[in-house]
Amino acid sequence: NAGVTQTPKFQVLKTGQSMTLQCAQDMNHEYMSWYRQDPGMGLRLIHYSVGAGITDQGKVPNGYNVSRSTTEDFPLRLLSAAPSQTSVYFCASSYSWGWAFFGQGTRLTVV
Amino acid sequence: KQEVTQIPAALSVPEGENLVLNCSFTDSAIYNLQWFRQDPGKGLTSLLLIQSSQREQTSGRLNASLDKSSGRSTLYIAASQPGDSATYLCAVLRSGNTGKLIFGQGTTLQVKP
């Protein structure tokens, strides 16, 4: 009964490094998405997917890449980390009718 | 362009009070509206979901209403308790339902014993 699992929970990166934030769900949801949460900005959509092999950009996609090869997994890649990407990242999955489940978040610091 | 606003940004009440949190949205073409709870340093927990065809949903001491025509939703918490202290977020899912939620910035609630 895991729900949405995100790894790692915490990460510190140096500017220019790359990394992948992992997200997995075990509810067979079609829709998965990535958000970032920043003070005063709320949660903003980075990328989303409506099924395996289908992804699209959200409101703040620059500097991030996604792919969805399976229903269960939706990794988020930071191509070349910048201090502006310091944030808390949340992965979510949902049924087609919209009830959303969120992971516990990844707290990322870029120095 | 859909925008979601929550007022107030913060609220402090004594234990036992009934309270109302407000959420407004600019585009009435929504699929549903969800209320979430977020504890400090934690993820989001879904509280209530109201489909666009519904007027309200209830779960225990929580009641959420939806008025699409005026672009407003309220979350009513009855007999508040210190354990209700958290940030409450509302989010709308636009018509077309691509799983893309648009969030308000939240109301941080403190319930004092």
Give per-residue pLDDT as tens, A44-95: 999 999 999 999 999 999 999 999 999 999 999 999 999 999 999 999 999 8
**CA distance to A85, B41, B84, per residue, from A105 (Å):** 14, 8, 21
Contact between B25 and B92 (Cβ < 8 Å): yes
Q: Would you say residue B103 has pLDDT above 80? A: yes
Give per-residue pLDDT as tens, B50-95: 999 999 999 999 999 999 999 999 999 999 999 999 999 999 988 7
Interface test with B, best of A5, A47, A94 (most B CBs within 10 A): A94
Which candidate from A31, A45, A90 shows the least CB-CB separation from B44? A90
Q: How many residues does chain B have?
A: 113
Q: Which residues of A touch B (CB under 8 A)?
A: 30-33, 35, 40-45, 48-50, 56, 58, 90, 92, 94, 96-105
| Bridge pairing between strands B56-59 and A76-78 | unpaired
Gap between the Cα atoms of B64 and A42, Å rounded = 21
